[in-house]
Structure formats: structure tokens, C-alpha cells
Chain A
Amino acid sequence: MTTQEAIPQIEDNGFAIDEFLAAEAAKDLLRFSTAGSVDDGKSTLIGRLLYDSRNVYEDQVRAVTGKQVSLRPTIDFALLTDGLRAEREQGITIDVAYRYFSTQRRKFIIADTPGHEQYTRNMATGASTADLAIILIDARKGILTQSRRHAYIASLLGTRHLVAAINKMDLVGFSEDVYRKITAELQTLVEQVGSHALLTIPVSALEGDNVVDRSTRMSWYEGPTLLEHLESVPVGTDIATQPFRMPVQRVIRPDQNYRGFAGQISAGTIRKGDLITVLPSGRSSRVASITTFDGDLEEARAPLSIALTLEDELDISRGDLLSEPQRAPQQATSLKALLVWFDNQRLETHRPYLLKHGASMRSARITRVVQRTNVHTLAEEAVSTLGMNDIGVVEIELTLPIFSDAYAENRASGSFILIHPQTNATLAAGMIRSSLSSGSSRPQPRGVLLLDTRGTVISRDVEERLIAAGTQVVRTQIDDAAILHSLLSLGLIVLLERALPVDVLESLASAGIHPIEAETYQPAKGELHGQ
């Protein structure tokens, strides 16, 4: 099937606008990202997709023909998508450009992102909302570091479907061997980056093979064309079955009789009469009504924007999260997360940043950079900071808790951005791996665990020094995990005069507590424990 059928001709008296509109109304939406290097022919591929599916307006085609010296008497498809003046001067795409087209089955939003390495951040931006990513590969060159990076970033950002368009097949004589070799290498790569579904399609964007129309020159390929695949990939099927989550964006209160909590459902489905829990208060109530401009609904699901009223009067404000009681998100004041660093100012540990998560904003400090992933080799490297376009795992401490899920489970409640409190720059995109602390609904003060195995006399000296410094210290020989946890949760410094068993060490580590050698410990300025 081609999309030519999707464009009815008005001259044709058989054109039925009602049928056309009914088909329009039934279309769903697929967001996909494309990433490719300057020479991969990515813009040409998108241009071809738009042109062959009749989505390029004629005056835009007019505007780009004959502007570049070309040996072929063809349209330069790349010029259809490269907009900005600066880019035309440089001859490269430098930012995320969004494109729109539709076929008889679907509407599509393309986030077209650049491939060269200084723009990892744009690739991440495009991938953040995408259900599918198209990775461009030049058949003559095989998998380059760029392809590897694209696959990795798409996978990190939770893009479910990966499609490798193996382009320029016309320049390798439409060779099945070339296609098979690259496909095998890609399979290995995809297993390495942990992505789920991969499809490889041999195409020639320039000549149109297997983009929209099936190639007559690669009869050995039996899979779908690129467009056929884009039209048939399942989309948005699982988000409505996840546990219910809705960050409260705003309280709507036009008069004394109505108090609605407005937000966009980020996961799950809600029905009138359902029990919900408000976080952080932990109080529960039932949904009295689901209000919309078009009338009350019995049921609403992600990602609809709605307003809810509750049976009980609860104190709820912007930044609170409505959740289903059984499967509530994790409360955390301490997170392990993956960051894509955007800003040219490098990450500074222990500096207060702002963390925006759903509709809530928190003060946050990065306490440790665990590792950085080398996007060329995918190797993990030990570093102390992250710079622009770096991707790495960090540990974050928050002043107030957030309620989150792991990004792998829930894109909306597992994602955040970091903002610089002075420059207001968007510093990084974050994906939550795990919460390092959880428990009571109050933010937990964090104690310090000092280990000293050399004997009571020395420990007493350490204790005196710390008390003199104005801290509250408990000296003990008890190595019971539960007791240590409760002492530390009071914010005390616990000076332990014996070595800890491995299981206790692990239990503490899972709460983000790592013992420090007593003799070397200096309480930080202003850090008064036990207040």
C-alpha cells in the first residue's frame, strides 16, 4: 500500500469528505526520531519520506530546487528539511527539527536530530518523546561510532523500537551480503545496549527504494518498507495499563462548590469511584468526578489532561502526586540516576541545583559521579564530573523527597531535568535508575557512620574531637542493621568500634550509607548532626 491513496483528489467527483474525515479522526500518532551523520543521507531520507507520501507542499519544493549545484536533475531532498540560515551556511543540521506527515493510517511526528558528536544533547532531546528511532547507516561504511551512539542513546531514553535504515544500497550494487553483514553486527550492538526490537531495512533514500515504495532491485528482501513498518508498529498500548499516576499541575477553584485537581495522567487509567492516594501526605480519597470541558467522564487514561474532584476535602497543591494506593511510587530523598549533561558549564558535585520532576521542583545536589559511558566505545569510565554531551550515572541528594518510579518502568515519573538556580540553564536530562533511600513520609536526616576497629581508647579521642566540634555522637559496639539504621536516621554520627558483617554493610549501602574511616573524618562546616 502506498500513501498516494491517502490524498483524495478534489477533481474526482467520487471524493467523499465524510469518509476522509472519519479516517482522519481514527488515526493515531507515532513519534519517531531520526539520527544520522552529515553524510548518511538522513535529511535525504526524511525528504524522500515526505515527498513520496505527498507531504511536501509544492511551494517548498519550488523554494529548494535549483539552489545547489547538482549533477542530477533531481530535487535536493535534504534542503526540504534543513531550515535555518546558519545551517545552510555550514551545510549541516545543528538542532532538533520537527516534521509532520500523515498517511491513511497514522499521523507522524519526526524529531530530526543531528548526528555529529557535539550534539548528543539534541539526539537525547529528540529521543525523549519518541516511540521509535530510525538509525541511518551508510551501506558502504557499515556501523560507525555515530550509529553506535544513536542506538545507545535511543535505548537509554527508552525508545521501544529501533529501525536501522541501511542506506545507499544503490552504491553497493544492492548487495544482500552487505545487508546481512551489517544486520548481524547490529544485532550484536543492540544486545549490548539493551534495546528490545530491531528491524533492519535496506534502502536507497536518494532513489526511493524501500522508503515508501517497495524496491524492485532488492527482491531478496522480504520485510516491510520503512513506511509500512512505521505504519504498523504498535504505539501507546501499555501506558494505560501501568499503575495510575497524575502530577497535580494546578488546583482549579472557580467558586466554593468546585475544587478540581488538574493534571495530565502520566500513567494508568482512573475511574469515577476509584481510591487514590495523595503524595506526599499519604491521605486517600475516592474520585468523585472526572471533569472536562466536554462533560464528565466515567473513565480517563494516560495521557489525557483532566481535572479530578475528590469525595473528601484534602489539602492538595501543585507538585503533589495522585497515585493508586496499591502500587504507589517510591519515595526518595536520594537517587541513583543517569544524566545526559547539556550545558557547557560542567557538573559540580555538592552544588545546589534545581530538579524538576513532574510538577514538582526540588533543591538537589549531586553527591557523586559514579561513572561516565564513553559514547564511542560504550565503555564505562571512572570520572569525577560530567561535561557537555557526557552521559553518566550519578548519585543525587534531595532536600525534600520526590515520588518516582524507575525510568525503565515509567517514562514520566522516572524522568527529571536539572536547572541551574542562577543562570536558569537546563543543565541535564535525568533518568532515575533507583531510589537509594525510602521510608517515612518525612525527609530523613542523614547520619554518618564511622568505623574504628583499633580500640576503645582511640575511639574515645575521636568522639571527644567530634563533640568539641559541636556534633552529636553515639559510640557503640552494636552491629545490628536495624539499630544502626534508626540511629543514623536521627542524623547522628555513629561511631562503631568494630568491623561490620557483610550483610549489614550491604543493608546500609542500599540506603546510601557508606562507612567512613573514623580517624580521617572531619565534619563539614555547617553540617551539624543531630539538630
Chain B
Amino acid sequence: MLAPIHPAYPATPAQRVETLTPAIGLSHLKLLEAESIHIFREVAAEFQKPVMLYSIGKDSAVMLRLAQKAFFPGPIPFPLLHVDTGYKFREMIAFRDSIARELSLDLRVWRNEQALADGANPVALGTQRCCGLLKTTALLDGLRHYGFDAAFGGARRDEEKSRAKERIFSFRDRAGQWDPKNQRPEVWNLYNARISPGESIRVFPLSNWTELDIWHYILLEEIPIVPLYFAKERRMIVRGNSLIPVEQSFLNSLPGEEQWVRSRLRSLGCSPCTGAIRSDADTIPKIIAELVSFRSSERANRVIDHDTDGSMEIKKREGYF
């Protein structure tokens, strides 16, 4: 049994429902939840072989809970796919496996074994090529291997500017690529799920959620998340303003750079490319308090977005989530 990682907020479900209900109308979280559940059910009904891309992070955790809700009391009627770059934090993999056991999930794991055998890593190849091989290529190969025709992703429109225009049902051609100029118009909640063989749809049920919504929902719903999000003393290479987790780091630390630092991760990526932040936030409310005072968007500590101007858009065109 996974223990709740944070102190309970409203103690009982009844109190939670009350908290979720403002005086007039429904709260924004209830509305977002209802919209996401509708999307899950549409996809499950209209596609032959949907899959949920599970990245182990907080957005995936929320997505997973929403999928449970959409099909309750039945099981989630599609598998989960984790694209494992081979450089994920050990705590992420342990968490993934325990959740899969706990919820009896059909979890598939896909790695670009060839690239890993050839020694692909971000230092040797550069971040962009490394991501291209271990994430994008692996993802497209994994989807093709299993013949998935729809893939849920946890991306939100508030994350990054090129995501702001993403549809909820995002059409991908036979090569898995995204053409921002050729997106299907999306009106009301009527989604066009029709595709030809070889084409696919990426579905983003969290499109309208913000980072704060995600955290708040995790709190209210007591959704388990990877402990790396919570502050504790961790072994870090301290270089300038950056905190680089020692685990799997390709950096050779200079004398004195390796220290115990009270820190946490704001977003979970690959260990060599994810920076930590100094933080005391060891509960969800503290994380939220930190978030609202921080005002720095969360992907900024991922190295990838800074390679070139508009780099996320290029990745997306190629098939990255």
C-alpha cells in the first residue's frame, strides 16, 4: 500500500466535496475534472488501441487518477506506456513499478535499446540529439511497435508558448509529426477522432489545467507522487546557481562542489538534465506556497527548452510530446 505522502487536507471525502463546491456553480477544479473525464471516455470509445503515456511525474499522476475516475468502477481500459530513456532517477522507476502493482495497471516500458547500447548520452551527443533518440525516436517506435492509434499525454497549455495552441485532439501524420498550420478546428466538446491507417492522435486531457491546478488537485485528492518533489537533504553538485543531482551526473565535480543540500525537483526529467532547487517544501501545501511566490515557469529548469529559440516547437513538429 502506498502511504499518502503528504498530510491530508480535508479529512473525509464529504469534506473534500464541500471544499470543491463554491457557493454558486461548480469550482474550477470540478469543471476541469469533468472535462478531462469526458475526453478519456471519448477516446476509449472512438479509438481501437489507445494508450496513456505515463511519465511518472505529477501531471501523469493526475492523468492516471482522472482515468481511474472516468471508468470507475471498471478498470482503465487501455495500457500505460513509459518511454524510459535509461537516465531516469531510481526513485522514479521504483515509484512507477509500485503504482503499477498497486493499481494492477497494464504498464509497458519502451527504451531505445540500440541507441543506449551505442552509448547515447547528453554529454556525448548534446541535449537535443540525446532527447531526439531516447525520447522522440523511442516514443514513435514504441507507439508503432504496439500499433497504438491514440496516445494520452499530460501536457498542459500553460507550460510553454508553443503548447498554448495545441488542440486537445492533436493530429499526427504517418511519421508521427505535428503540423501547427494543419490542425483540425476544435469546437465545443465535439472531438473528431477519425484517422486513416498509420495516422494517430495525441490527446491532452490536461490541456486546460495550470500548474497550480495540478498541485491543488493532488492535495485534495491525496494523489501519490514521486518523493523527489519533496525537499530533503540530497547529494548535489553545486555550481553557480545550479544544483545538479549527483545521481548519474556526467559532470566531474570539482573539489568542494559535491554537497548535501536541502533541495527538491520541480519537474522530473532525466537525471543528467534536470536541475534541483534549494527548497524547504516537504509537503504539498508548502510546495504550493513556494509555487505562488516563485513566479518562474516550471520548465525553465529543464535544459532542453533553452537550446534554441522555439526549441520546443521544433521537438513537437518532430513528434516529441
Contacts of B220 in A (CB 8 A): 25
Contacts of A121 in B (CB 8 A): 185
Indicate if A467 sits at the interface (CB-CB under 8 A): no
Most chain A CB within a 10 A radius of its CB, from B72, B75, B288: B72
**In residues 191-244 of chain A, which contact B (Cβ within 8 Å)?**
234-237
> Min CB distance, B77 to chain A, in Å?
9
Q: Mark B219-248, 1 if CB is under 8 A from A, else 0.
A: 110000000000000000000000000000
The answer to whether B69 and A292 have CB atoms under 8 Å apart is yes
Indicate if A342 sits at the interface (CB-CB under 8 A): yes
In the complex, what distance in Å separates the CA atom of A125 from the CA atom of B190? 11
Indicate if A186 sits at the interface (CB-CB under 8 A): no
* A295 in complex: contacting residue of B13, B37, B289, B297, CB < 8 Å: B13
In the complex, what distance in Å separates the CA atom of A425 from the CA atom of B220? 40
Nearest residue (CB) in B for A429 is B187
In the complex, what distance in Å separates the CA atom of A424 from the CA atom of B173? 12
Q: Mark B187-210, 1 if CB is under 8 A from A, else 0.
A: 111101011100000000001101
Indicate if A313 sits at the interface (CB-CB under 8 A): no
The answer to whether A318 and B45 have CB atoms under 8 Å apart is yes
How many chain-A residues does the 8 Å CB contact rule pick out?
86
In the complex, what distance in Å separates the CA atom of A354 from the CA atom of B46? 14
Contacts of B100 in A (CB 8 A): none
The answer to whether A264 and B71 have CB atoms under 8 Å apart is no
- Binding-face segment, B22-30, B79-87, B107-115, B252-260: B22-30
The answer to whether A24 and B216 have CB atoms under 8 Å apart is yes
A10-B289, A83-B164 as given contacts; A95 in contact with B158, CB under 8 Å: no
Contacts of B188 in A (CB 8 A): 128-129, 411-412, 415, 417, 429
> Min CB distance, B111 to chain A, in Å?
31
The answer to whether A99 and B189 have CB atoms under 8 Å apart is no
Nearest residue (CB) in B for A411 is B188
Indicate if B145 sits at the interface (CB-CB under 8 A): no
The answer to whether A293 and B72 have CB atoms under 8 Å apart is yes
> Min CB distance, A211 to chain B, in Å?
19
* B207 in complex: contacting residue of A10, A21, A98, A102, CB < 8 Å: A98
Q: Mark B28-57, 1 if CB is under 8 A from A, else 0.
A: 111111110110011011000000000000
The answer to whether B164 and A97 have CB atoms under 8 Å apart is yes
Contacts of A81 in B (CB 8 A): 161, 164
Contacts of A295 in B (CB 8 A): 13
Contacts of B196 in A (CB 8 A): 424
* B180 in complex: contacting residue of A15, A82, A84, CB < 8 Å: A84
> Min CB distance, A76 to chain B, in Å?
14
Contacts of A125 in B (CB 8 A): 185-187
> Min CB distance, A313 to chain B, in Å?
18
- Binding-face segment, A248-256, A457-465, A475-483: A248-256
In the complex, what distance in Å separates the CA atom of A480 from the CA atom of B219? 69
In the complex, what distance in Å separates the CA atom of A125 from the CA atom of B192? 14
The answer to whether B72 and A292 have CB atoms under 8 Å apart is yes
Nearest residue (CB) in A for B71 is A252
Indicate if A521 sits at the interface (CB-CB under 8 A): no
* B70 in complex: contacting residue of A262, A354, A412, CB < 8 Å: A262
Nearest residue (CB) in A for B182 is A425
The answer to whether B194 and A59 have CB atoms under 8 Å apart is no
Indicate if A416 sits at the interface (CB-CB under 8 A): yes
The answer to whether B37 and A264 have CB atoms under 8 Å apart is yes
The answer to whether B183 and A95 have CB atoms under 8 Å apart is yes
In the complex, what distance in Å separates the CA atom of A429 from the CA atom of B186? 9
In the complex, what distance in Å separates the CA atom of A263 from the CA atom of B45? 11
The answer to whether A59 and B72 have CB atoms under 8 Å apart is no
The answer to whether B73 and A260 have CB atoms under 8 Å apart is yes
Indicate if B104 sits at the interface (CB-CB under 8 A): no
Contacts of A58 in B (CB 8 A): 295-296
The answer to whether A359 and B45 have CB atoms under 8 Å apart is yes
* A17 in complex: contacting residue of B17, B42, B212, B289, CB < 8 Å: B289
The answer to whether B293 and A11 have CB atoms under 8 Å apart is yes
Q: Mark A80-109, 1 if CB is under 8 A from B, else 0.
A: 011111101000001111111010001101
Contacts of A305 in B (CB 8 A): 33-35, 37-38, 41, 69-70
Indicate if B184 sits at the interface (CB-CB under 8 A): yes
> Min CB distance, A409 to chain B, in Å?
15
- Binding-face segment, A26-34, A171-179, A362-370, A490-498: A26-34
Nearest residue (CB) in B for A79 is B161
In the complex, what distance in Å separates the CA atom of A15 from the CA atom of B290? 11
In the complex, what distance in Å separates the CA atom of A24 from the CA atom of B28? 9
Q: Mark B151-176, 1 if CB is under 8 A from A, else 0.
A: 00000011011101100000000000
The answer to whether B161 and A83 have CB atoms under 8 Å apart is yes
A304-B26, A359-B45 as given contacts; A426 in contact with B184, CB under 8 Å: yes
A17-B288, A426-B184 as given contacts; A250 in contact with B69, CB under 8 Å: no
**In residues 390-432 of chain A, which contact B (Cβ within 8 Å)?**
411-412, 415-417, 419, 424-426, 429
Indicate if B250 sits at the interface (CB-CB under 8 A): no
The answer to whether A303 and B31 have CB atoms under 8 Å apart is yes
Indicate if A337 sits at the interface (CB-CB under 8 A): no
**In residues 255-309 of chain B, which contact A (Cβ within 8 Å)?**
285-286, 288-290, 292-293, 295-297, 300
List 22 A-B pairs, Cβ < 8 Å: A8-B293, A20-B289, A21-B9, A21-B285, A25-B20, A25-B27, A26-B23, A27-B22, A83-B164, A83-B313, A85-B162, A106-B28, A109-B208, A250-B45, A252-B73, A264-B35, A291-B73, A292-B72, A357-B190, A417-B190, A419-B192, A426-B184
Q: Give the 3 A-B residue pairs with the shortest CB-CB distance, closest first.
A: A83-B161, A10-B293, A305-B37
Name 13 extra pairs, CB < 8 A, besides A28-B24, A59-B300, A129-B188.
A21-B219, A24-B216, A25-B216, A60-B297, A83-B162, A84-B310, A124-B185, A129-B189, A235-B25, A295-B13, A356-B190, A415-B187, A429-B188
Could you list which residues of chain B lie within 8 angstroms of chain A, going by C-beta atoms?
9, 13, 16-17, 19-20, 22-35, 37-38, 41-42, 44-45, 68-75, 157-158, 160-162, 164-165, 180-181, 183-190, 192, 194-196, 207-208, 210, 212-213, 216, 219-220, 285-286, 288-290, 292-293, 295-297, 300, 310, 313
